Structure 1
Amino acid sequence: MTNTRLLQVERDTFESYLPALAKALSARPLAELESRNSDALALFKQHDGPALIFPVELGGLGASALDATRVYRALGALSPSLGAGTTMHQLSVAALLTHARAAGSEADLELYRGVAAGRLLLSSGFSEGQPGGTVFKPTVLARPVEGGYLVTGRKQPCSLARSMDLLTASVAEDRGDRARRGVIVIPADSPGISVEPFWDNPILAAAESDAVVLTDVFVPENLLLWSDEADPDGQFEQHGYIWFGLLISATYLGAASAVVERLLLSGKADAATYTVAACELEASMAALEGIACAFDAGDRSTELSARMLFCREALKGALHRAVIAAMDGLGGISFIKNPEVTYLASAVHAAGFHPPSKRATADTLLNYHATGVFGMS
């Protein structure tokens, strides 16, 4: 498909960091990239995608939040499954690196240097996107044993379930009143880890969002990071939450942009109709870029986290309006003859299904403006 000005900045940024990946994905049909048997994740690993936000000193590409947001808009336009699935990898990287730098040891940094060098893919067994004191709510239990812990539970859906090299997941210590929260980082082929089918919908199937089941998986003490001790105020988790919000939003913005770009290229675009759709996209991107720039400048405030949640909620409606306007402009023959448009429209709708729920989001944002307290109820 011929490119337009609509996504030029984002495509240029994508190609500056991941030129081989951009070329490989652009050469594949959307249906192939989005299929259940897609090799999109293999291409992502092969062409340096896992290293995107790792700092250069650890062997990564060192993308800023602003640049990564632009990369993920371009990525979402090519393969929304790949964008959504690998956002979970970036969430894990961001949270773990923040912990390692602030409270970890040199051994922790060496571990992540090895992850970056190997271009390893981290799944994210978290309850993503729940800001406040309950971010990454544990979904599995860790029972102390000699030399470490036995971990049991399940995460469903868990993106990257079949392509992950490492599993990261939130855990709660199974010790009654002394329960602690923590995060495990373990090889995906550890004894006791299995994957079960879960995602039945063909939309976003290439994200591999199946069920990961842990049954008495042994985790050495050094591979379990206790969040309650190292991060009692949830600041490391907030760091991951901002990255998640930016990249997942940019992914769906990219998918919506791909629909609107098809209208632009069709020759059928009425100026008024096109402008309505494009304004929704560009205003949304400007909001994301504003948050990313503030984050890159060092802002870690609850105000920025609240802005991120406001932006995510507003973006859902904006993308829906943009896609509807573009589909109306393309007309019924496009609906009949071009399944890519309807696929992308369905993928965009999934932006509303990521936690937190609409009710929880509304309660949080009302409470924040009313009281100044930001956190999930």
Structure 2
Amino acid sequence: MTSPPPRIPTFPPPRWAELDAVTAALAARAEQHDRDASLPHEGIEQVYRASLLTATVGARFGGPGGGLADTVRILRALGAGDPAVALIAAMTLFAHAGQARTLHWPAGVYADLLAEFGRGPTLVNALRVEPELGTPVRGGLPATTARRRADHWEVTGHKIFSTGAAALRWMLVWARTDEQPTRVGTFLVRADTPGITVRPTWDHLGLRASRSDDVHFDAVRIPLDHTASLAAPGADAGRDAPAGAWNCLGLTALYLGVARAAQEWLIGFLHERVPTALGAPLATLPRFQSAVGEIDVALSGAERLVAALAAGVDAGETGAAEQSTGAKVLGTRAAIGAVEQAVALIGNNALSNTNPLQRHLRDVLCSRIHTPQDDTVLLATGQAALRRRAAVPPLSKGQ
């Protein structure tokens, strides 16, 4: 007798009215989680209870079908509260958005995930980076291997920088098969499957509470149908272009949230600090007023750009997805510059372990690490611009 299919719940839309309260609650605990390098389980639970973690579940699956514009709004708010919570949440939001676009999960496996997601936060992340390979966007094949057996796969390998590893319920493991010819794709692995070991190796300057630890797979057995997008190496290049835009704009919004938190702390300090020689708050001095204005202009412009492109991606606007890489460069530079300027204004005290600015600085610097990195973006953009000019016929003499 076969067991009945799982009951798929209905997921309500985000409780937008609670967004500010969630940000404040995350911020209240962020310092302690950063200091302890501990996973912020209660923060993730709070994001789930506000229906923010399920915002991108597709409408066909009983979800609100939130797009990139909604996700940018959520991640900017969570980033201002605790960027570790925001980064962990982003991975799950991106996974559901990807399924809504491309239906790459087998239907039964995704139904199981949604059934569990209806009972509590069920975290998902794609594990791709490896010690020898580094980030796969630079090229190369994974060393992690899925060996075909009669009725299952056995996955063996080592992944690093696995955000939220110990809290994940599903791991989307990028691996190669042992077939001839080899295929490459994603293997959908439940985190409680025997043979998986999470090693607490994460000892990072920033985003310490994200617990982006190492994960080892030792002949982990998964059913044959727990795969997505298996294809010849390179066959999926350029497929699902919006996925890159989600990564670029969503994560840039997260770090703009970090910069806004730094700005808010700076403004509060400038109002409260009254030097004896001045007899008035630092906020009354033109020097500080101009500096705060410069920070605000930079962040506001970057936020507008990210939000507009996110809306453009949702609407299928031509060129919006491609322009997201440049927005990442501009947005992350604005975020880093804003926090660095705040630190410079405060001086030595800003780098004290008791000052939130040093945490914001450490966290915002992590924005440079996410793919695509600045050098890749600028090289590709420059080459495209040069190709456009080369395609224009030269002006004849006298024109």
TM-score, scaled relative to structure 1: 0.82
Alignment of 1:3-152 (within 5 A): 15-16=16-17, 21-22=22-23, 24-26=25-27, 28-36=28-36, 38=38, 40-45=40-45, 47-48=47-48, 49-100=52-103, 106-107=107-108, 109-118=110-119, 119-127=121-129, 138=142, 140-152=144-156
Matched, 1:280 2:312: no
CA contact (8 A) 2:23 2:82 kept: no
Q: CA 1:370–1:115 in structure 2 vs 1: closer, same or farther (change >3 Å)? A: farther
Q: CA 1:22–1:336 in structure 2 vs 1: closer, same or farther (change >3 Å)? A: closer
Q: Which of 330, 338, 344 is matched with 1:314 structurally?
A: 330
| Corresponding residue of 1:182 | 185
Q: CA 1:34–1:60 in structure 2 vs 1: closer, same or farther (change >3 Å)? A: farther
| Corresponding residue of 1:220 | 223
Kindly state the Cα deviation for residue 126 of structure 1 after the two structures are TM-superposed.
2.7
Q: Which amino acid letter does the alignment assign opposite residue 316 of structure 1? A: T
Question: Which piece of structure 1 moves more, 122-131 or 40-49?
Answer: 122-131
Kindly state the Cα deviation for residue 331 of structure 1 after the two structures are TM-superposed.
4.1
Kindly state the Cα deviation for residue 45 of structure 1 after the two structures are TM-superposed.
3.4
| Corresponding residue of 2:363 | 347
CA contact (8 A) 1:34 1:206 kept: yes
Q: Aligned to 2:167, what secondary structure does the other structure show?
A: coil
Q: CA 1:47–1:328 in structure 2 vs 1: closer, same or farther (change >3 Å)? A: closer
Task: For residues 238-280 of structure 1, give each alpha carbon's deviation from its aligned partner in whole angstroms, at most 9, with x where no partner exists.
Answer: 3332222122111111111111111222213422111111111
Query: 1: CA distance between counterparts of 2:320 and 2:20?
Result: 32
Q: CA 1:51–1:261 in structure 2 vs 1: closer, same or farther (change >3 Å)? A: same
Query: 2: CA distance between counterparts of 1:370 and 1:240?
Result: 26
CA contact (8 A) 2:152 2:224 kept: yes
Q: Which amino acid letter does the alignment assign opposite residue 126 of structure 1? A: R
| Corresponding residue of 2:177 | 173
CA contact (8 A) 1:36 1:208 kept: no
Gaps in structure 1 of 5+ consecutive residues: 1-12, 373-377
Query: 1: CA distance between counterparts of 2:36 and 2:187?
Result: 28
Q: Aligned to 1:165, what secondary structure does the other structure show?
A: strand
Q: CA 1:337–1:86 in structure 2 vs 1: closer, same or farther (change >3 Å)? A: closer
Query: 1: CA distance between counterparts of 2:384 and 2:151?
Result: 43
Q: Which of 352, 358, 377 is matched with 1:361 structurally?
A: 377
Q: CA 1:318–1:355 in structure 2 vs 1: closer, same or farther (change >3 Å)? A: same
Q: Aligned to 2:225, what secondary structure does the other structure show?
A: helix
Matched, 1:305 2:321: yes
Query: 2: CA distance between counterparts of 1:106 and 1:39?
Result: 31
Kindly state the Cα deviation for residue 217 of structure 1 after the two structures are TM-superposed.
0.9
Gaps in structure 2 of 5+ consecutive residues: 1-13, 272-281, 389-399
CA contact (8 A) 1:252 1:348 kept: yes
Kindly state the Cα deviation for residue 352 of structure 1 after the two structures are TM-superposed.
0.8
Q: Aligned to 1:62, what secondary structure does the other structure show?
A: coil
Query: 2: CA distance between counterparts of 1:14 and 1:342?
Result: 31
TM-score, scaled relative to structure 2: 0.78
Q: CA 1:282–1:87 in structure 2 vs 1: closer, same or farther (change >3 Å)? A: same
Q: Which structure has the higher relative contact order (CA within 8 Å, separation 6+)?
A: 1
Query: 2: CA distance between counterparts of 1:133 and 1:99?
Result: 24
Give the RMSD, CA atoms, in angstroms: 3.1
Query: 2: CA distance between counterparts of 1:137 and 1:288?
Result: 32
Relative to total residues, which structure has the larger helix share, 1 or 2? 1
Matched, 1:271 2:289: yes
Q: Which amino acid letter does the alignment assign opposite residue 32 of structure 1? A: Q
Q: How many residues align?
A: 352
Question: Which piece of structure 1 moves more, 361-370 or 117-126?
Answer: 361-370
Query: 2: CA distance between counterparts of 1:330 and 1:61?
Result: 43
Q: Which amino acid letter does the alignment assign opposite residue 215 of structure 1? A: D
Kindly state the Cα deviation for residue 370 of structure 1 after the two structures are TM-superposed.
3.4
Question: Which piece of structure 1 moves more, 39-48 or 317-326?
Answer: 39-48
Identity %: 21
Kindly state the Cα deviation for residue 360 of structure 1 after the two structures are TM-superposed.
2.9
Query: 1: CA distance between counterparts of 2:305 and 2:260?
Result: 15
Bigger radius of gyration, 1 or 2?
2
